[in-house]
Amino acid sequence: MPKKVIVIGAGASGMLAAGKAAEQGAEVLLLEKKKKPGNKLLISGKGRCNLTNNSEVSEFIQHFNREGRFLHQPFSQFFAPQLMAFFQSLGIELITERGGRVFPASGKASDVVDALLRWSQSNGVVLHSSYPVNRILIKDGRINGVRCNRRSIHGDAVILATGGATYPATGSTGDGYSMAEDLGHSIKPLRPALVPLLVDDPLVQSLAGLDLRNTGFRVYVDGKRKKADFGEVSFTTTGIGGPVTLTHSLFIVENLRAAKNVIISLDLKPALDEHKLDNRLQRDFVKRHDESISSVLRGLLPQQLIAPALHFCSLNGQKSAGQISTAERKRIREWLKNFRLSISGHRPLSEAIITAGGINVKEINPNTMESKIVEGLYIVGELLDIHGDTGGYNLQAAFSTGWLAGIHAAGTKDQLGR
Ligand SMILES: Cc1cc2nc3c(=O)[nH]c(=O)nc-3n(C[C@H](O)[C@H](O)[C@H](O)COP(=O)(O)OP(=O)(O)OC[C@H]3O[C@@H](n4cnc5c(N)ncnc54)[C@H](O)[C@@H]3O)c2cc1C
């Protein structure tokens, strides 16, 4: 008799888990709460789906929180090269971009979702959409099935793949945390990771839409420099986002929660040290001495930054460059190297790219993804207390853990030699 496997959630990890379990010969039911599967995958990578990263495993794991070490086992069985070969075997051509980010060459996340669905269904997976699971059923200490809309469905194994608690419109509303908690699992507090930050200053908010590439990024906590990085910062109507901001956002969220004062200092001219920048300003001001300082600054800054530059440096924009005093030039130089943003908060968990916290990985067997608390229960994907940077790390973790759970949920103990 084939094993009956129920997968809860048709996202990245659930679709992989279901297809793999069916490939192993199990009878697989994939239950999805929303009308359509893979909603979060569809919006991933701005609709392009950055499905993995081609860095080496040791470097890859450094892009996760401490608990990311748990991934050594899943990655030793199914990692980026295997994932890429898998998608290529499904007819998805891939391209690798800056920073090792891997995307479908078509630039369409929908191609990834369609391919996963076709593959899982051709392996025999039965998908029920608009099917929210409310509870996992246990009998004699082991899995017995699930409860869904007052109906019980029997299963020999259940793979819990309901995702994190961000972007709830995609269906990932955090249901799996309470389902696992009801069965005795412990949940590390949920926090937003990769989340935009708030800057309560109308002048900064007026910069919405501006993207600054190649910007120096330093984080000061209670006046002490704690982080120094470099990258792209985007201004929003409520503050700042962009890759380098998101990377450090959880650190900042945790300091804000501890009532610390957080300042971000942007270096708008990281390629020039103070001395070289001063020479450049002097040269420009002499050469263009009859022009207004506003016009001369246009050679150094995007248009949107001129008004804040004049405001923060207390300058009249009509003043000619030739009339700028040494003290005023010093203020301009200092502001260009140290544009300070006082961080007043962060966007909510629902707007984060990923959920930090989640199911304690000490309670999961990393060789199988089976719960150490309930026999026959497997937990995968973003539900786990593992979160990574942007760059394809989170989807690879979801795919690898799903793959492993699919194999082990389908196999009998004899087949798997346990
Ligand atoms: C805007 C955005 C962009 C992102 N871009 C990237 C990227 O480019 N690269 C990357 O690596 N990561 C990216 N991520 C993160 C990545 O998408 C997630 O980490 C990943 O999708 C998690 O996979 P998962 O299978 O655990 O959960 P999900 O993909 O969230 O899937 C969970 C599924 O479970 C279903 N479900 C929930 N509750 C129930 C229930 N009670 N019953 C039945 N079904 C249920 C949901 O409807 C959903 O379909 C992005 C995230 C966001 C929000």
Closest of 294, 282, 382, 407 to residue 67, by C-alpha:
382
Contact assessment for residue 401 and residue 13, using Cβ atoms and an 8 Å cutoff = yes
User: Per-residue pLDDT tens for 248-285?
Assistant: 999 999 999 999 999 999 999 999 999 999 999 999 99
**Cα–Cα dist 358/324, whole Å:** 56
Distance (Å) from CA 382 to ligand 1 centroid = 7
- Is 376 close to ligand 1, i.e. is its CB under 6 Å away? no
Q: If you measure from the C-alpha of residue 302 to the centroid of ligand 1, how many angstroms do you get, rounded to a whole number?
A: 36
Domain boundaries, the chain: 4-192+349-416, 196-346
Give the number of other CB atoms < 10 A from CB of residue 135. 15
Q: Which of 128, 133, 394 to mutate to test the pocket of ligand 1 (most atoms within 8 A of CB)?
A: 394
Tokens (6 digits) for 190: 């949920």
pLDDT tens figures, 149-187 = 889 999 999 999 999 999 999 999 999 999 999 999 999
User: Mean pLDDT score of the chain, rounded to an integer?
Assistant: 96
- Whether 171 lines ligand 1, by a CB cut-off of 6 Å, is yes
Q: Per-residue pLDDT tens for 91-105?
A: 999 999 999 999 999
Residue 167 in contact with ligand 1 by CB distance below 6 A: yes
Is the pLDDT assigned to residue 412 strictly greater than 80?
no
What pLDDT, on a 0 to 100 scale, did the predictor assign at position 417? 47
Ligand 1 center–CA 285 separation, angstroms: 53
120 CB less than 6 Å from ligand 1?
no
| pLDDT tier at 414, thresholds 50, 70, 90 | low
Locate the ligand 1 atom nearest the alpha carbon of residue 15 and give its number.
25
For range 286-305, the mean pLDDT = 95
Q: Is residue 243 a contact partner of residue 232, using CB atoms and an 8 Å limit?
A: yes
Q: What pLDDT sits at residue 2?
A: 87
- Other C-beta atoms closer than 10 Å to the C-beta of 361 total 18
40 CA → ligand 1 middle, Å: 5
> What residue owns the CA closest to ligand 1's atom 52?
353
pLDDT over 90, % of the chain: 97
Q: Whose CA is nearest to atom 24 of ligand 1?
A: 163
pLDDT tens, position by position, 347-367: 999 999 999 999 999 999 999
In the reported structure, the alpha carbon of residue 235 is separated from the centroid of ligand 1 by a whole-number distance in angstroms of 26
Confidence check: pLDDT of 387 > 80: yes
CA of 358 to the centre of ligand 1 (A): 14
Buried b (16+ CB within 10 A) or exposed e, 247-277: bbbbebbebbeeebebbbbbbbbeebeeeeb
3-state per-residue secondary structure call for the chain: CCCEEEEECCCHHHHHHHHHHHHCCCEEEEECCCCCCCHHHHHHHHHCCCCEECCCHHHHHCCECHHHHHHHHHHHHCCHHHHHHHHHHCCCCEEEEHHHEEEECCCCHHHHHHHHHHHHHHCCCEEECCCCCCEEEEECCEEEEEEECCEEEECCEEEECCCCCCCHHHCCCCHHHHHHHHCCCCEEEEEEECCCEEECCHHHHCCCCCEEEEEEEEEEECCEEEEEEEEEEEECCCEEECHHHHHHHHHHHHHHHCCCCEEEEEECCCCCCHHHHHHHHHHHHHHCCCCEHHHHHCCCCCHHHHHHHHHHCCCCCCCEHHHCCHHHHHHHHHHHHCEEEEEEEECCHHHCCEEEEEECHHHECCCCCEECCCECEEECHHHECCCECCCCHHHHHHHHHHHHHHHHHHCCHHHHCC
Query: pTM score, two decimals?
Result: 0.94
Residue 250: both structure tokens together: 């959880």
| Nearest C-alpha neighbor of 250 from the set 354, 143, 100 | 354
Closest-CA residue, ligand 1 atom 14, reads 44
Please report which confidence band the pLDDT of residue 418 belongs to, taking 50, 70 and 90 as the band edges. Answer: very low
Residue-wise pLDDT tens digits, 363-379: 999 999 999 999 999 99
CATH superfamily of 4-192+349-416: FAD/NAD(P)-binding domain (3.50.50.60)
Is the CB–ligand 1 distance for residue 391 below 6 Å? no
Candidate of 159, 162, 383, 403 to mutate for ligand 1, largest count of ligand atoms within 8 Å of Cβ: 162
pLDDT 10s digits, 39-59: 999 999 999 999 999 999 999
Q: Is 11 in the pocket of ligand 1 (CB under 6 A)?
A: yes
* Ligand 1 and 381: CB distance under 6 A: yes
Ligand 1 in contact with 104 (CB < 6 A)?
Answer: no
Half-sphere CA count of 36, side-chain side, radius 13 A? 10
